[in-house]
């Protein structure tokens, strides 16, 4: 935990599966900050839409998803075993369900819906109002907190990212192939960069972190050097 009393917002944006959450979680633990995984929020809406029949066989009915929004109550609860918060939808913990390949395949489409973004962005801004948060996503430094004191834009080689995701999913027992994971990573990059609203882009004042060949410890050292400068 940092002794410094000045609380800031750390925005961590970047490509899918490049370890943003692992990195952001480690920073939050180090600084004694709250960690917010905004991708989990888009995934939670997607899961709920699948369960409620607004997405069938991978086809997203946008009007039906929008109609569900007032019925979705998203919350976080700290899980001390994981050292991070689990996400809840209407009181049910959906932390593991939201990482499935089915959700991954539909989440880009759901996150391109304007009403979905405005609901989740408003929630994220409320959660960061007191500062002292590390938030990871795609548009944190550009849209959610353009005034964040620290902005980091993460990237890594697509193949390295797919290998990491593959290891994570197969460790959980999911039956997936390396090829489908790589295709999902590449197609989500494309969708994130090309959507009309809040496309993924590096904020002009964000620092680039390519972690293809960096350990978590090396990334932390990289971060702490910049953090000490920032709070001086």
Instruction: Dig out the tokens for 30 from the structure.
Output: 């180090």
| Distance, CA of 15 to CA of 68 (rounded, Å) | 28
User: Does residue 128 touch ligand DC according to CB under 6 A?
Assistant: no
Instruction: Dig out the tokens for 192 from the structure.
Output: 């994130």
User: Does residue 25 touch ligand DC according to CB under 6 A?
Assistant: no
Q: Considering only residues 85, 109, 111, 113, which one is a binding residue for ligand DC as defined by CB under 6 A? A: 111
User: Does residue 19 touch ligand DC according to CB under 6 A?
Assistant: no
The secondary element (H helix, E strand) that includes residue 217 is helix 216-231
Q: Considering only residues 35, 42, 76, 153, which one is a binding residue for ligand DC as defined by CB under 6 A? A: 42
Q: Which of 38, 30, 24 is nearest to 87 (CA)?
A: 38
User: Does residue 139 touch ligand DC according to CB under 6 A?
Assistant: yes
Q: Which of 10, 36, 24 is nearest to 211 (CA)?
A: 24
Whole-number minimum distance, CB 108 to ligand DC, in Å?
Answer: 5
Give the C-alpha distances (Å, rounded to integers) separating 206 from 10, 141, 149, 150, 219: 10, 7, 10, 7, 15
Whole-number minimum distance, CB 199 to ligand DC, in Å?
Answer: 9
User: Does residue 189 touch ligand DC according to CB under 6 A?
Assistant: no
Q: How far apart are the first and last CA of the chain?
A: 17
Whole-number minimum distance, CB 204 to ligand DC, in Å?
Answer: 18
User: Does residue 95 touch ligand DC according to CB under 6 A?
Assistant: no
Q: Rounded to a whole number, what is the largest CA-CA distance in the chain?
A: 52
Nearer to ligand DC, 4 or 212 (CB): 212
Tell me the number of residues near ligand DC by CB under 6 A.
13
User: Does residue 138 touch ligand DC according to CB under 6 A?
Assistant: yes
Q: In this structure, how many other beta carbons lie within 10 angstroms of the beta carbon of residue 22?
A: 15
User: Does residue 55 touch ligand DC according to CB under 6 A?
Assistant: no
Which stretches of the chain bind ligand DC, using CB under 6 A? Answer: 16, 38-39, 42-43, 107-108, 111, 137-139, 188, 192
């Amino acid at each position: 935990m940092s002794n410094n009393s000045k609380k800031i917002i750390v925005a961590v944006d970047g490509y899918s599966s490049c370890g943003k959450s692992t990195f952001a979680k480690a920073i939050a633990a180090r600084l004694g900050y709250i960690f917010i995984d905004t991708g989990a929020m888009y995934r939670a809406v997607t899961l709920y839409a699948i369960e409620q029949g607004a997405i069938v066989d991978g086809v997203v009915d946008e009007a039906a998803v929008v109609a569900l929004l007032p019925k979705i109550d998203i919350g976080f609860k700290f899980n001390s075993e994981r050292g991070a918060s689990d996400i809840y939808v209407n009181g049910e913990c959906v932390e593991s369900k939201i990482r499935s390949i089915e959700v991954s395949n539909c989440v880009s489409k759901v996150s391109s819906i304007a009403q979905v973004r405005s609901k989740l962005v408003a929630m994220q801004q409320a959660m960061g109002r007191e500062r002292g948060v590390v938030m990871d996503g795609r548009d944190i430094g550009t849209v959610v907190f353009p005034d964040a004191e620290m902005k980091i834009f993460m990237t890594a080689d697509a193949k390295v990212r797919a290998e990491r995701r593959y290891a994570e999913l197969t460790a959980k027992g999911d039956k997936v192939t390396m090829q489908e994971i790589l295709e999902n990573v590449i197609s989500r990059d494309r969708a994130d960069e090309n959507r009309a609203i809040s496309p993924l882009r590096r904020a002009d004042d964000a620092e680039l972190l390519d972690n293809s060949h960096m350990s978590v410890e090396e990334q932390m050292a990289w971060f702490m050097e910049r953090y000490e400068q920032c709070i001086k």
